[in-house]
Structure 1
Amino acid sequence: MSKRNSQNAKNAARERLRVERERQAKKDKAKRQVIVAGSIVAVLAIAGGIGYAVVQGNQPSHWEEAAEATVVPPANTSGKDGTTVVVGDSKASNDVHLYEDPRCPACAAFEQTVGETVDKDMKDGKYKLTFTIGTFLDGNLKGEGSKNALSALGAALNVSPDAFLAYKTALYSTKYHPEETKDDLAKDAYLIKVADTVPALKGNKKFQDAVEKGTYDAWAMRMSKSFDDADGVDSTPTIKINDKVVKSPDSTGSWTVDAWNKTLKDAGVTK
């Protein structure tokens, strides 16, 4: 091979090497750009996820929104936002005011033991019954059962006062009242199941729709606030007769029919 041909071959080899290096350099650059772009996307995705979580975390809950929403008061109520619930003869000279929470086990015990007598005395005209229902146990125990049950009670009250009383009795019954740590009352299906034991509510589509759509959720929150604002109420059940808090005279502090009758007598409540 001539010296000239040898030099040309070397030059050609160098050129091929240069081209190959440039090609590899472009390939490496493109790869780096892909990696950087992917990293930026990942960072943005993480930041976006954190931002979304923060935004979602700052969103008000359904019940917080309900507390600010326009109230649809149930029928058979009165007063501001329909938070005055009176059952019986509104002209009765005596008033028995019950303060309860749907999840409260002591309220359930009171209703199971004395509830029938309380309702009968009201129907006999000894007094009218006033109800203020709270939801503080949802905060203490976590959950939504008290609020959801109160909204459902509003739906029952919208049907009739008798449906309200019967439904409240069913919710507090030994069969259907859950342990306070169980949030069964937060489930619409459970509330409707209990309602089906009440003739006026069984298969009542209007009642069921109100429960499922939360028609009386805002009302429930206003009622709950009126409970929180009530004077002299620091536990449930709290019972006032003619605006005076009364306690069971039973030695155990629990309510019995005899204790209830004695309390009425001591308060001067007679037919």
Structure 2
Amino acid sequence: MFAGVLVVTDDDKGSGGGSPDGVAEGPPGAPGSGDSDDSGGSEGSGDLVRPGHSSGPGGTTVVIGEASAGHTLDVYQDLRCPPCASFDQAVGPTIAKDIKAGKYKASFHFAAIVDENRGGSGSTNALSALGAALDVSPDAFLDYKDALMSSKNHPGDSKDSYADDDQLLTVSQEVYALKTNASFREALREGTYDPWAKKMIAAFDASGVSNTPTVKLDGSELTGISGSAPATAAEFTDAVNQELKG
């Protein structure tokens, strides 16, 4: 549903050398292609490889939208979180439409709250796979996130299905850009972006946001009638329009 959206970052769109944060990029699995992982995670001790089309310290900035967009929507999610999946299914198409219209650009942030609370590694493992998709293209990133959050595929928090690489590869077959992409498959299998995923999670933990899904427009949290993240497209659009008027 997100096809054709332009990615905008604050450096050279992840093209490699000379990145301001000192984290070099390279092909999936390239040795010595970045700084060592200092996110404090207990796993994934390999070198940090930043996906293409990311920016900022450790590649933890993922911004999609027109450079001229005057507003920024921050979306905080956990790939294993059922309410996040429901939000994505209900509001995702509206966000895609608004991005294409230049209403705002979107910055994506990811947590591993379900992993921490219930055990397992599906949140983190799915995020690593999403990093491999981001390295392919922004559209692949967004389409794969859409597939992971779909009612057909999302396992809910009672099952740790996304800890299984085979399941993540199965879901990837729904994304045209990933179906036969050998580099993506290798990066997923090898855990190339495991350290990056831990960096993303550490950035979420430092953000001050404690719940997912959370959505903010220009730093102001958007809520629906329940007082939490908007549950429907109509609630979301009303909240966005109210914030823009304010």
TM-score when normalising by structure 1: 0.73
CA apart distance, 1:69: 4.0
Deviations 1:153-200 (A, max 9, x none): 000100111111110010000000002110000011100100100111
Q: Does 1:262 align with 2:238?
A: yes
Of 193, 198, 208, the match for 2:185: 208
Q: Residue 118 of structure 2 aligns with which residue?
A: 141
Contact 1:73 / 1:82 at 8 angstroms: preserved in 2?
Answer: yes
Q: Residue 200 of structure 2 aligns with which residue?
A: 223
Deviations 1:224-246 (A, max 9, x none): 00000002x11100111101112
CA apart distance, 1:211: 0.3
- Runs of 4+ aligned residues of structure 1 deviating over 2 Å after TM superposition are 249-254
CA–CA distance in 1 between the matches of 2:232 and 2:144?
22
SS of residue paired to 1:132: strand
Of 134, 137, 140, the match for 1:157: 134
CA apart distance, 1:247: 1.1
Q: Percent identity?
A: 44
Classify 1:254/1:93 alpha carbon distance in 2 versus 1 (closer, same or farther; 3 Å).
closer
CA apart distance, 1:91: 3.3
CA–CA distance in 2 between the matches of 1:77 and 1:251?
32
Q: Residue 198 of structure 1 aligns with which residue?
A: 175
Q: Residue 53 of structure 1 aligns with which residue?
A: none
The one-letter code of the counterpart of 2:231 is W
Classify 1:70/1:234 alpha carbon distance in 2 versus 1 (closer, same or farther; 3 Å).
same
Q: Which moved more, 1:247-256 or 1:144-153?
A: 247-256
SS of residue paired to 1:240: strand
The one-letter code of the counterpart of 1:230 is S
Q: Residue 29 of structure 1 aligns with which residue?
A: none
The answer for unaligned runs of 5 or more in structure 2 is 1-40
SS of residue paired to 2:42: helix
The answer for unaligned runs of 5 or more in structure 1 is 1-62
Alignment map for 1:85-234 (pairs within 5 Å): 85-231=62-208, 233-234=209-210
Q: Residue 64 of structure 1 aligns with which residue?
A: 42
Q: Residue 236 of structure 1 aligns with which residue?
A: 212
The Cα RMSD (Å) is 1.8
Q: Does 1:247 align with 2:219?
A: no
Contact 2:214 / 2:221 at 8 angstroms: preserved in 1?
Answer: yes
CA–CA distance in 2 between the matches of 1:65 and 1:249?
40
Deviations 1:130-155 (A, max 9, x none): 00101121111110100100000000
Q: Which moved more, 1:147-156 or 1:131-140?
A: 131-140
Deviations 1:11-45 (A, max 9, x none): xxxxxxxxxxxxxxxxxxxxxxxxxxxxxxxxxxx
CA apart distance, 1:120: 1.2
Deviations 1:197-229 (A, max 9, x none): 011111211111100000100000000000000
CA apart distance, 1:65: 3.8
Number of corresponding residues: 206
CA–CA distance in 2 between the matches of 1:258 and 1:71?
40
Contact 1:150 / 1:220 at 8 angstroms: preserved in 2?
Answer: yes
